[in-house]
Amino acid sequence: MNYKTMLMASAAVLFSTQAMAADLTGAFSVPGKGQITSETKIGMTRETSKIRNGFKKYTLDGAYASEFLEYGITDSFSINAGITNVFDRDYVAEKFWGTYNKISYNNDHNFGYDLGAKYNTRFDDVLFQVAGTYSTYNPKDFWGKHNTDMRWQKNLGIDLKAGLDLGNGITPYIVYHIDSDIDTAHRELTQSVSAGIHKYTGKWALDGAIRYEWTKNHTEYDSDGWLYSKKNTTETWLDVAGDYYLKDNVALGLYGSYLIDAHDRTSTEWGWKDKTTDSYEIGLRVKVLF
């Protein structure tokens, strides 16, 4: 073997060891043509709010499991479907002198369903994605026994994303999201803007973003399921995620969201006013490319 051949062989080996597999966890990730990704999640949520008019606070805990499948029609266009079960919720309302009301709720068939599509495109190093989702959810008896609009909820949502591929697995991005309930008496409209950065190395990935969210006609229900407030809210969240690649096509990760600040402006029949003071979500996920 001559000197030139040795150099070419060494370069080929070096290049092959540095090549990275497909990034399954980024904001612009879609499966290739004919491929399928599966994302399985289990997680928990907590919301704590202070309430005036004799109430100290209320706490709402929840847990869920979900499965999300995405199929690549082309390398840039995909369709997806998901199912989520909110299988446990606890509600505790406290007055200054002690617990006022406590409800434990468990339902093995409390499902939500999602159908959607994504389209990616890029111009040089600038990335774009448009995504749409149709969702339905049936909360069964929890806060729904007196309110027909709390039964089969239907929702339409759109995400508009833009990012910049800086190389070396680094991608800063921004996301605009809007979704609205349909077929409900109290139609809620939510919008948000996120700014984040994603880092991928081929063996692990990290993601962090700040999300500012504002909601119009957000509804609150008392412990008996009666509507008691209709309000506009603004919230600031920190979203983080970390994933480790067990194989090139299997990523195991942790994700979470934490409420940094919230401003609730409540107008109700009885003049109640509350403010969300502490909320978070944390979960475990597995993503697999087939």
Model pLDDT, residue 98:
56
Model pLDDT, residue 211:
96
Q: What is the mean pLDDT of the chain?
A: 78
pLDDT in tens, 175-230: 999 998 887 666 778 899 999 999 999 899 999 999 999 887 655 554 444 444 55
Q: How far apart are CA 288 and CA 201, in angstroms?
A: 17
Highest-pLDDT range among 1-10, 85-94, 205-214, 274-283: 205-214
Model pLDDT, residue 153:
76
Q: How far apart are CA 82 and CA 76, in angstroms?
A: 20
Angle at 172 between CA 64 and CA 155, to 5 degrees: 40
- Examine the pLDDT at 116 and tell me if it is beyond 90: yes
Percent of the chain's residues with pLDDT above 90: 43
254 confidence band (pLDDT: 50, 70, 90): very high
pLDDT in tens, 126-150: 999 999 999 987 765 544 444 455 5
Mean pLDDT, residues 116-120 taken together: 96
Mean pLDDT, residues 120-129 taken together: 94
Domains belonging to the chain, first-starting first, are 3-289 (2.40.160.40)
235 dihedral zone (left: phi>0; alpha: psi -120 to 50; beta): beta
- Examine the pLDDT at 91 and tell me if it is beyond 70: no
| Nearest Cα to Cα of residue 224 among 107, 109, 103 | 103
Mean pLDDT, residues 146-172 taken together: 82
**pTM for this model (two decimals):** 0.78
The three-state secondary structure class of 165 is: coil
Task: Please name every residue paired with 98 in a beta bridge, in sequence order, or none if there are none.
Answer: 95
109 confidence band (pLDDT: 50, 70, 90): low
pLDDT in tens, 38-70: 999 999 988 877 665 555 666 777 888 999 999
- Examine the pLDDT at 7 and tell me if it is beyond 50: no
